[in-house]
A and B are shown apart, each in its own frame.
Chain A
Amino acid sequence: MKLEPFFQKIKELSLILFLFTSMAAGAQSQKIVTGQVLSAADNMPLPGVTVIVKGTKNGTSTDFDGKFSLNVSGEAQTLVISSIGFQSKEVVISDSQLTISLQEDINALDEVVVTALGIKREQKALGYAVQEINGEALQKVSGVDVGTALTGKVAGLLVKNSSDFNVVPEITIRGEEPLLVIDGIAYSNKTLSDISSEDIESISVLKGATASALYGFRGASGAILITTKNGSGSENGLTINLTTNTMFTAGYLAIPEKQSVYGRGSNNTYNLNQDQSWGQVMDGSIQTQWDPIAKEFRDFEYLPVGKDNFKNFLDQGYITNNNVNVAYKEGNASLRSSVNWTENRGRYPNSKLDKYTYSFGGDINLDKFQLTSNLSYAKRESPNMGSNGYTSYDPMYTLLIWSPSDYNVLDYKDNYWLTPGVLQNNHYGYDYENNKYSGKNQNSPYFDRYEKTNEVSRDIFNADLSLNYEITDWLKATVRSGLDYYVDRGQLRVSQGSYVSTGNTSIPGSSSTWNGGRTGAYVTGKSQGFSSNSDLLLTGNRAFNKFEIGYLAGGTIFYDRTDNLNAGTVGGISVPGFFSLNASVEPAKVAETTFSQQVNSAFGRFSVAWNKLIYLDFTGRNDWSSTLAGPSVPDSKRSYFYPSASSSFIISELLPESSKFWLDLLKIRNSWTQSKTPAGIYDINSVFTTTTGTWNDLNGATAPGSLYDLTSIRPQSAETYEVGLQGMMFKKRLNVDVSYYDKRFYDILKDNPPAPISAASGYTGKVINIDEERSRRGWEVALTATPIKKEDVQWDIAFNWSTYNEVYTKIDTTFSRNDPWIKEGARTDAYVGKEYLRVPETGENIYKNGRIQRSNYNTVFGFQDPDWLWGVNSTFRYKNFSLFVSMDGVVGGLMNTRTESYMWQSGVHPDSDTEERALDVATPGSNNYIGNGVKVISGAVEFDTDGNITFDDRVYAPNDEATTYLRAVKDLHNSSAWGGSGTTTDAYEKTFFKLREVSLTYNVPSNVLESWGPVRNASISFIGQNVFLWAKDFKYSDPDGGKEDFADPSTRYLGANIKLTF
């Protein structure tokens, strides 16, 4: 066969696509065929069945009553009726109403899932856990990122959804970050947030290392395989889908509040120049204050005019997510093109995010030859995403924490300059006389949003091409190659007059910037990266009597390179409002980093099945990694091999025939695998670090801080053992899947950071494989059920639950940390802190000079990992209405609350308005808080290095010494964002429950659609995202992000979704 005709065809197809509108409008109508499709087993109507005129692209699908109606031309003879799980049927068109009954396809029980390398295999043959999600489940409610829609839908998969603006959800499987594979390509740079949910056909989650063993070190933590939609799944002819999804902010799930009784001051008195809210009562007395309108200091009434500052500052936000896609299929070829636009306006002023994705895919399916190719481009940009977290001077830093409620933030709206471009109008005022600002390190909030901006953009392009050729009936060759290329750009602009610098705000290629306090700054960063993956696979299978064997041999070349370039002004900007490196007062500072690696691999799989009863799988893979290559490393070190074995045993095959009535499948599975991870890029290189201009014009250099044990260096290894049980009952209306796994990490490679050694030796670390071992053990349960399935009513529910924890199974006597809580059998996620000093016998708190005392030694206060995770998804359908609800939650695990800790410390916490405080303020300098406990009146105590008491002759008396309420609060909550472990008082349990998604959908029935012309399917939904939150400890912020550092207010989104198919 020649390719010429192919190109000809493609040209034709393009032309047809181009003319689709006229096609859609110009359909001939000669007669109408109507009918109903029923299930042969129980005569129940079958909705969603495809009905197509044979040999054409003309078709429809049945409504919930199983009914259809179709315009056909005079020549049409036969209809093809098909539905997943049923055998297709052809019927001759007659004038009368057709009644068609479909036979269930027995083989349909053999569910096929996508496994590693994109190979489709029967679920029952697998010896490891794979959970599949249909794309539709992610398209019910479309937010900014698909990750959010994945939350709670897969057992063992945790998605952390930060409430901060433009922060991408963080996904882990069994506590580790999985590999993302799209259409068979394990891209290095493309992420889930670069994909539109409308383009996802299905997602297959390979949970353990065995499932993803063929992906090598990149799949050592499981993999998420995404199959994107292509035209080949659709009917012959043209299909156009339009989806629009728009939601508006509607209230808050969690938002900080503050007391508005006490004003500025740090010592129970009014202090014009002091931040915090530990001042006097805002009682209307006359005080010298800054007047933002007159722009001068003036005496006027001191009142809580800003008690609603935070809410007043926030804007109405929205998310709109819109998609148009067109698919065309004719015979053996199909095309699909999709474009998606998402816009998110945040709640802080001047925050906006736009996302665009374009994708184009084509398929050619011939007898022995298949070709698939996809191209896609995504862009994500925000002119100002602001900054998140305390040390990055998040807007809450000023607005919520450090400033009191004694000024009205709205007075500063469009009024934040004293001298435009140079000096801000700030509620701390400006001392013109001495040409000095007297304020603390706080910007005026509007200044902060408009004059301290963080512009980001990301462009990513990817393409893949996959060829399959069936050489013989027992051997198929696949060549697949894909690449991605991205550019991330970030620009920070700080105007002169900013009281704070860019702080800990990152730009691409640099994690913190710290530039521009008072002087202004422009900081820019660019990361660009390229990765490519090329696979050659030979696969096949053969059957001999009761044996079936499958085999695979292949190779992969993976290459990845990232280049970062970043620069910033030094000493400020020379011209107000001029943001460029050319504005730098001193020569601008520039830095460059480059990372590259290549891994070549050869791998194979051999599987054998006997009598559809026992399935065995063996894989092996050998990698050659560049990250283990160096001048002083033997070549043999860069090569390493790792095998896996798995089995599946179908118990139900052995059960008596009578059990088939209720039991469809009962399977037990078992697997073992080894996975190996090489050193990180450049981690084994001993190099000097040079600094240009380290002191004045002199350059600096530092010697390597690590020693290297390169002759014995090995990749880090893990061994995973997994067992599972899967059952399908009542014609698949109840599915249960339970897994248990044990992953042992050994040969742990301490490369970044290295294993610490005493700095007194001249080095701080050693790059070495240590003897410490850890094991992570967990359970996962996934359950899906259809409790009700009737003609008008159907209820589907899916439940999943998982738990794990990690313990030390071996201690390295040299390199493991020498702490009492680090020992064999102890959990590795201890939440360690310095507890309050207590009387050993009674547990009473010990006070000194009226102040509570903290121990000088750390102890285990709790654990960080959640006890368990859960999620429930339910769809209830009544006639044409369906209600979808998705909820999930986390139970247990400790994390620090930065927001509330600082609300306490700065005196704004609503609960800090107490009697003791009132007394302190009534008489500044008086002490009115007496802590409940004892004080030491004589004696002393000594400790060993673990904090155990070795000598103690302390004598106690009840604590009768008072301190101020302020001091007591600060002693309890003195966690710092700048380092150190937080106080135990600020350690909160993560436990929460969230109503993640709700959608109430009306599917327009086919008889209505008939009058709508070309519309084939239509639905409208009322939707909500982030609808309801209950949290055990977190009251003023949302623990969903997995860490809590000035989490933005958590917002409820409500809106509508319209889907149309032509």
Chain B
Amino acid sequence: MKNIKYIFITIISSLVAISCSNFEDINTNPDKSTTVAPEILATEVLKDEYRFWNPVPNDFSSGNLFNKHTAILTGNPNANQYYYSFFPFGSFGSYKNLTDLKRMVEFSEGSPAEPSFKGLALFMKASYGFAATLDMGDVPYSEAGQAEEGNTRPKYDKQADVFAQILTDLQQAETFFAEGNYLDGDIMFNGDVTKWRKLCNAMQLKVIQTMSKKATADQKARFAAIVSAGNLMEGNADNFKLAYSENPNATHPFWNGETIRINTGVSKLVVDALKNSNDRRLFYFAEPAPALIDGGLLESDFDAYEGAPTELSAEMLGLNHESGAYSLLNARYVEFRDNDPMLHFSYSEQCFIIAEAIEEGWVTGDAKEYYENGVKAMLEYYMDLPLTAGHVHGMAIDQAYIDNYFTEAATYATNGSKEDRLKQILTQRWLIDFFQGNGGNYPQFLRTGYPQYPLDPATSLNPDDASVYPKRWKYPESEQTTNPENYQKAIDEQYGGFDGINQVPWYLQ
């Protein structure tokens, strides 16, 4: 039986040998890192914020409905078109990236790029706060991103304070960018910090104007100071945009969206606005209405285009669409992976912001010039798109056309009323966002009422009151568990305890 003993001993000693291996090595994930380069954090943060949330045609189409640029013609009412949402909640999801930004700055410590990363971190924080407060009202800001310091339940700042702090942060960000040289990992400006500085300045103008009803004299003065200091965007080259490419990870979200496009109409609001000023962007945006072509009109004729009324019932839109009544989205939108760059903040918008401020007397200057520069820049944007040949129905925008644009209704209403001029400015500002998926214009509409978005209580899906435009989204449901006291305080103080979508946040009061 000696042999058996040896077998036992061998097995047992090999077991003991195995058991002595290092547990920490076993529990270290070889596929994950505990440290990274700051620029790759920057890339991911920028992509998270500025890429369309789910870059597929269906969601992209749906995401463009709220600002009444397009209409869905399937016969099935899409909530976004009728003043509601499939998910009527705002989000603090982007605030999670405050931690990424913190790490980004830490990992860049001591490098020449450190100030640029600091600038980016502050700019992004301001962007998250701005989007969140416009969506919901009071939101965490001053205490946001402090989980590591032990504060996992940040208080909600009053909206006025959020705006004020955003302005401070943007100013500080500009100072940082001024100290930095180059920003690595930058998918927006390719690392050019001079452009980031201009953006930080221009963003302050946008923030102050968005709270125009509540802006203090100091804030208005600051607006004027920024304009007169002049370090602002100077043309389309300074546009804050996301450019698409042939790479599948950076493809335009509507590429290959033919099945969606054939049921997506251009809105009557857009078509009429463009027809009204003989604006050739119409031919870039839309296809002629089949019924009008069948009726003998030419595709190069403005009259061959008919927009879909976004407030009409989905069933009627569907039936009219089947008889070819409406202009669909231009077929070019589904053709190319590297289609129209997504504009997040453009030189044009900056022009219109200043034009409005001049009209409101915040700042002195020639509103007409700003208005015209803004429109021209947008026309140039379309003129310069590389993939439009053969897709614009023989009505390409060229320099001669742009030079002669400001005639008839397109002429700035210098002799008309201020309201006429504001309407012109805001309508042009709204057209910037056509099928851009940047979600932008709605707060500006709520603030100014221009252009007037059509609403029919018989088709509105606003569940609380079908006769009004929703003013905000509800706070994330998770806050009721993760931050209940501050959440309750916020809705009590602002909205009488009812977290409803028609409640009016401070900036619109």
Shortest B400–chain A CB gap in Å is: 31
How long is the Cα–Cα vector from A467 to B10 in the complex, in angstroms? 13
Measured between beta carbons, the chain A residues less than 8 angstroms from B259 are 439-441
A910: Cβ under 8 A from any B Cβ: no
Measured between beta carbons, the chain B residues less than 8 angstroms from A817 are 481
Measured between beta carbons, the chain B residues less than 8 angstroms from A592 are 31
Q: What string of 1s and 0s marks CB contacts (under 8 Å) between B86-117 and chain A?
A: 10100111111011101100000000000000
Given contacts A1-B1, A695-B249, contact A759 B95 (CB under 8 A): yes
Shortest B236–chain A CB gap in Å is: 21
How long is the Cα–Cα vector from A571 to B258 in the complex, in angstroms? 18
Measured between beta carbons, the chain A residues less than 8 angstroms from B466 are 848-849
Measured between beta carbons, the chain B residues less than 8 angstroms from A1012 are none
Number of residues from B at the complex interface, CB < 8 A: 98
* B147 contacts A761, C-beta separation under 8 Å: yes
How long is the Cα–Cα vector from A512 to B46 in the complex, in angstroms? 25
- Which of A117-125, A180-188, A641-649, A680-688 is near enough to bind chain B? A680-688
* B480 contacts A818, C-beta separation under 8 Å: yes
How long is the Cα–Cα vector from A571 to B12 in the complex, in angstroms? 54
B139: Cβ under 8 A from any A Cβ: yes
Number of residues from A at the complex interface, CB < 8 A: 105
A1008: Cβ under 8 A from any B Cβ: no
Of all chain B residues, the one with the shortest Cβ separation from A686 is: B34
* A761 contacts B151, C-beta separation under 8 Å: yes
Q: What string of 1s and 0s marks CB contacts (under 8 Å) between A425-450 and chain B?
A: 00000000000111111000000000
* B29 contacts A685, C-beta separation under 8 Å: yes
Given contacts A707-B147, A762-B96, A942-B498, contact A682 B43 (CB under 8 A): no
Measured between beta carbons, the chain A residues less than 8 angstroms from B140 are 758, 760
Q: What string of 1s and 0s marks CB contacts (under 8 Å) between B1-45 and chain A?
A: 101100110011001001101011011111111111100110110
Contact of A271 among B32, B41, B95, B322 (CB under 8 A): B322
A924: Cβ under 8 A from any B Cβ: yes
* A518 contacts B93, C-beta separation under 8 Å: no
Contact of B43 among A266, A479, A699 (CB under 8 A): A699
Given contacts A586-B248, A766-B152, A849-B458, contact A691 B319 (CB under 8 A): no
A615: Cβ under 8 A from any B Cβ: no
* A627 contacts B27, C-beta separation under 8 Å: yes
Contact of A691 among B44, B458, B465 (CB under 8 A): B44
Of all chain A residues, the one with the shortest Cβ separation from B10 is: A479
* B480 contacts A945, C-beta separation under 8 Å: yes
* A269 contacts B319, C-beta separation under 8 Å: yes
Measured between beta carbons, the chain B residues less than 8 angstroms from A518 are 256
* A536 contacts B15, C-beta separation under 8 Å: yes
* A702 contacts B147, C-beta separation under 8 Å: no
* A682 contacts B100, C-beta separation under 8 Å: no
Measured between beta carbons, the chain B residues less than 8 angstroms from A759 are 91-96, 476, 478
Contact of A594 among B30, B40, B491 (CB under 8 A): B30
Of all chain B residues, the one with the shortest Cβ separation from A275 is: B259
Measured between beta carbons, the chain B residues less than 8 angstroms from A278 are 75
Q: Which of A816-833 contact B (CB under 8 A)?
A: 816-819
How long is the Cα–Cα vector from A951 to B93 in the complex, in angstroms? 32
A700: Cβ under 8 A from any B Cβ: yes
Of all chain B residues, the one with the shortest Cβ separation from A627 is: B27
A630: Cβ under 8 A from any B Cβ: yes
How long is the Cα–Cα vector from A943 to B480 in the complex, in angstroms? 14
How long is the Cα–Cα vector from A757 to B478 in the complex, in angstroms? 8
* A698 contacts B33, C-beta separation under 8 Å: no
B145: Cβ under 8 A from any A Cβ: yes
Shortest B315–chain A CB gap in Å is: 6
* B483 contacts A758, C-beta separation under 8 Å: yes
Shortest A174–chain B CB gap in Å is: 29
- Chain B CB within 10 Å, residue with most, of A630, A817, A849: A849
How long is the Cα–Cα vector from A819 to B144 in the complex, in angstroms? 25
* A626 contacts B27, C-beta separation under 8 Å: yes
A570: Cβ under 8 A from any B Cβ: yes
Of all chain B residues, the one with the shortest Cβ separation from A437 is: B258
Given contacts A1-B1, A760-B140, A762-B144, contact A688 B481 (CB under 8 A): no
Measured between beta carbons, the chain A residues less than 8 angstroms from B383 are none
Q: Which of A495-544 contact B (CB under 8 A)?
A: 517-518, 534, 536
How long is the Cα–Cα vector from A437 to B96 in the complex, in angstroms? 42
B500: Cβ under 8 A from any A Cβ: yes
A638: Cβ under 8 A from any B Cβ: yes
Shortest B56–chain A CB gap in Å is: 9
B278: Cβ under 8 A from any A Cβ: no
Measured between beta carbons, the chain A residues less than 8 angstroms from B32 are 682, 685, 687-690
A809: Cβ under 8 A from any B Cβ: no
Measured between beta carbons, the chain A residues less than 8 angstroms from B146 are 761-762
Measured between beta carbons, the chain B residues less than 8 angstroms from A436 are 258
Shortest B256–chain A CB gap in Å is: 6
- Chain B CB within 10 Å, residue with most, of A597, A699, A705: A699
* B27 contacts A693, C-beta separation under 8 Å: no
Measured between beta carbons, the chain B residues less than 8 angstroms from A690 are 32-33, 36, 40
Number of A-B residue pairs at CB separation under 8 A: 273
Given contacts A695-B249, A757-B482, A759-B96, contact A559 B187 (CB under 8 A): no
Measured between beta carbons, the chain B residues less than 8 angstroms from A555 are 15
How long is the Cα–Cα vector from A467 to B37 in the complex, in angstroms? 54
Contact of A761 among B24, B75, B102, B153 (CB under 8 A): B153
Shortest B382–chain A CB gap in Å is: 23
A596: Cβ under 8 A from any B Cβ: yes
How long is the Cα–Cα vector from A3 to B34 in the complex, in angstroms? 54
How long is the Cα–Cα vector from A691 to B99 in the complex, in angstroms? 18
Of all chain A residues, the one with the shortest Cβ separation from B319 is: A925
How long is the Cα–Cα vector from A630 to B32 in the complex, in angstroms? 14
How long is the Cα–Cα vector from A923 to B389 in the complex, in angstroms? 43
* A762 contacts B44, C-beta separation under 8 Å: no
Of all chain B residues, the one with the shortest Cβ separation from A465 is: B11
How long is the Cα–Cα vector from A700 to B40 in the complex, in angstroms? 4
Measured between beta carbons, the chain A residues less than 8 angstroms from B40 are 690, 694, 698-701
Measured between beta carbons, the chain A residues less than 8 angstroms from B18 are 534, 557, 559, 598
* A681 contacts B27, C-beta separation under 8 Å: yes
Of all chain A residues, the one with the shortest Cβ separation from B16 is: A557
Measured between beta carbons, the chain B residues less than 8 angstroms from A481 are 11
B385: Cβ under 8 A from any A Cβ: no
* A269 contacts B322, C-beta separation under 8 Å: yes
Q: Which of B440-468 contact A (CB under 8 A)?
A: 458-459, 463-466
Shortest A941–chain B CB gap in Å is: 8
Shortest A960–chain B CB gap in Å is: 14
How long is the Cα–Cα vector from A441 to B256 in the complex, in angstroms? 11
A764: Cβ under 8 A from any B Cβ: yes
Contact of B29 among A271, A438, A594 (CB under 8 A): A594
Measured between beta carbons, the chain B residues less than 8 angstroms from A705 are 96, 99
A605: Cβ under 8 A from any B Cβ: no
Of all chain A residues, the one with the shortest Cβ separation from B498 is: A942
A-B contact pairs, 25 of them (CB 8 A): A438-B258, A440-B259, A597-B26, A598-B23, A625-B23, A626-B26, A629-B27, A686-B34, A687-B32, A688-B36, A689-B32, A693-B249, A698-B40, A699-B43, A702-B41, A756-B478, A758-B483, A759-B93, A760-B145, A761-B95, A762-B95, A762-B99, A763-B148, A849-B459, A945-B487
B contact residues vs A (CB 8 Å cutoff): 1, 3-4, 7-8, 11-12, 15, 18-19, 21, 23-24, 26-37, 40-41, 43-44, 46-47, 51, 74-76, 86, 88, 91-96, 98-100, 102-103, 139-140, 144-148, 151-154, 185, 187, 245-250, 256, 258-259, 262, 315-316, 318-319, 322, 458-459, 463-466, 476, 478-484, 487-488, 491, 496-500
A-B residue pairs, 9 tightest by C-beta: A700-B44, A267-B75, A687-B32, A762-B145, A629-B23, A761-B147, A267-B318, A760-B140, A626-B26
A contact residues vs B (CB 8 Å cutoff): 1-3, 266-267, 269, 271, 273-274, 278, 368-369, 436-441, 467, 469, 477, 479, 481, 517-518, 534, 536, 555, 557, 559, 570-571, 586, 592-594, 596-598, 600, 624-631, 638, 681-682, 684-691, 693-705, 707, 756-764, 766, 815-819, 848-849, 853, 856, 924-925, 940, 942-945, 950-951, 964, 967, 970, 980
